[in-house]
Amino acid sequence: MSFISTGLSPSLLRAVAAHGYQVPTPIQSAAIPAVLQGRDVLGSAQTGSGKTGAFALPLLQALENAPPESLRRAALLVLVPTRELATQVGEAFRSLAQHLPRALKVSIVFGGVSINPQMLRLRGGADIVVATPGRLLDLVHHNAISLAQVKALVLDEADRLLDLGFAEELARILALLPQQRQNLFFSATFPPAVQALAQTLLRDPVRIEIQPEPQNLPDIVQRAIAVDAGRRTQLLRHLMAEHRWGRVLVFVATKHAAEMIADKLRKARINAEPFHGELSQGKRTQVLADFKASRLKVVIATDVAARGLDISQLPVVVNFDLPRSAVDYTHRIGRTGRAGEAGVAVSFVSADTEAHFRLIEKRQGLSLPLEVVPGFEPQQLAPAAPVSLDGQPIDTSTGGIKGKRPSKKDKLRAAAASAQSTSA
């Protein structure tokens, strides 16, 4: 399919050409005509597949054709889960909108920075608002913006926005929007519970599911390396030197680990910075800009960096700590191998995380050999098959992806079971 046959206007075809896009990606071919027809869309396609263009291009066309009196009324609202994604998506709208005959105003708003400049910039209204939910609500409460004229709502990384962490804020925002509107929900992953919730919010949606075909699959080589937990930083340094990795994005489980490992690497004269939710927004922006400009070699990040970020020519992602779920694994490794480039995703697996890794692998439909790097042969043995509190073996092949430590519920169940057996 060509961009012409998607139904895009001449000015947007110019925008597409100016960006060097020759043919629409599969999600764009499917979504652009549906969005142009005003349909709701539930779109799922792998990360880096051109999702932003899939909603931005047809929605810009709707604004291009809108009557003048509807301008600067926040007709288009795009919600995203992280501040960095707000900037990235907002900038994508700005650069695509440059080619339209009429100037459109894109406002990017997110928390963690002073609200006043954002309020000032919203004076006189905006056409497109790209926002994280919390700050958007703050701006509504300060009367800096009204959502009463929103014609189209986009949830980017929709599964994240629809899950519990954002549920309350999202519900409050939805209550402020007109009933009559177009809804576009996009994400790389849509767990079934989230899909069911999405269905209740969408009107007769066009469902677009782009199955990754071999030629569309990001070119990511996935590797798993067995290593003792205490030697992971050394192994990371060894791999960086051996493979001459230019830039590496390293994922860890906690802010503390991010700080600690960045510190260790800096002591070894490696230019590294942590990236997590407790840093000031100024610092987060700086770290990301330095990383994108290759001024920084290693970023040690929590999952706040796992979604949506488009860092071109990022050759390597390392799971220093394994992700909690298979969905997080998909998002993390999707930071590399973007837009047709090659990438490597390496997971460090130690004795106590091997069972967890096998579950992620199973959910991903993968089967990776556990490699051993000479000099880093693991000394620790895998724990014996896990047993529950009442001494029964746990079958880890049937679930429990968040680790095999018993949850509160497991403990309650075990306590109830042992109470029953003692009273019997």
Give the Cα separation of 149 and 66 in Å (integer): 13
**Binding footprint of ligand AMP, residue count (CB under 6 A):** 13
Question: Can you read off the two tokens belonging to residue 252?
Answer: 């860890």
Which part of the chain contacts ligand AMP (CB under 6 A), choosing from 48-56, 191-199, 203-211, 391-399? Answer: 48-56
Would you count residue 94 as binding ligand AMP (CB under 6 A)? Answer: no
Would you count residue 51 as binding ligand AMP (CB under 6 A)? Answer: yes
Residues in contact with ligand AMP, shown as a per-residue x/- string from 232 to 271 under the rule CB under 6 A: ----------------------------------------
Sorted by sequence, the CB contacts under 8 Å of residue 121 that are 6+ apart come out as: 107
Would you count residue 187 as binding ligand AMP (CB under 6 A)? Answer: no
Among 9, 29, 44, 49, binds ligand AMP (CB under 6 A): 49
Which part of the chain contacts ligand AMP (CB under 6 A), choosing from 22-30, 214-222, 233-241, 392-400? Answer: 22-30
Instruction: Report in angstroms how near the CB of residue 47 gets to ligand AMP at its nearest.
Output: 6
Reduced to 3 states (helix: H, G, I; strand: E, B; else coil), residue 249 is strand
Among 48, 81, 90, 323, binds ligand AMP (CB under 6 A): 48
Helices marked H in 152-292: 158-162, 164-176, 192-201, 232-243, 255-267, 281-292
Give the Cα separation of 271 and 266 in Å (integer): 6
* Cα-based angle 180, 185, 191 (whole degrees, multiple of 5): 130
Q: Which long-range contacts (CB under 8 A, 24 or more apart) does 32-38 make?
A: 32/6, 32/7, 32/8, 32/57, 32/58, 33/6, 33/7, 33/58, 34/206, 34/208, 35/59, 35/182, 35/184, 36/6, 36/7, 36/8, 36/61, 36/62, 38/182
Would you count residue 330 as binding ligand AMP (CB under 6 A)? Answer: no
Torsion of CA 35, 40, 46, 51, to 10 degrees: 30
Scan residues 333-352 and list those touching ligand AMP (CB under 6 A): 338-339
Would you count residue 17 as binding ligand AMP (CB under 6 A)? Answer: no
Task: State CA 135 to chain mean position distance.
Answer: 19
Reduced to 3 states (helix: H, G, I; strand: E, B; else coil), residue 213 is coil
Q: Which is nearer to ligand AMP, 57 or 235 (CB)?
A: 57
Nearest to 313 by CA among 262, 251, 252, 248: 248
Q: Which is nearer to ligand AMP, 307 or 358 (CB)?
A: 307
Give the Cα separation of 382 and 405 in Å (integer): 15
Q: Which is nearer to ligand AMP, 323 or 337 (CB)?
A: 337
Instruction: Report in angstroms how near the CB of residue 185 gets to ligand AMP at its nearest.
Output: 15
Would you count residue 26 as binding ligand AMP (CB under 6 A)? Answer: no
Instruction: Report in angstroms how near the CB of residue 265 gets to ligand AMP at its nearest.
Output: 28
Nearest to 198 by CA among 51, 347, 43: 43
Instruction: Report in angstroms how near the CB of residue 392 gets to ligand AMP at its nearest.
Output: 45
Residues in contact with ligand AMP, shown as a per-residue x/- string from 27 to 46 under the rule CB under 6 A: -x------------------
Would you count residue 58 as binding ligand AMP (CB under 6 A)? Answer: no
Instruction: Report in angstroms how near the CB of residue 52 gets to ligand AMP at its nearest.
Output: 3
**Positions in the binding site for ligand AMP (CB under 6 A):** 21, 24-25, 28, 48-53, 310, 338-339
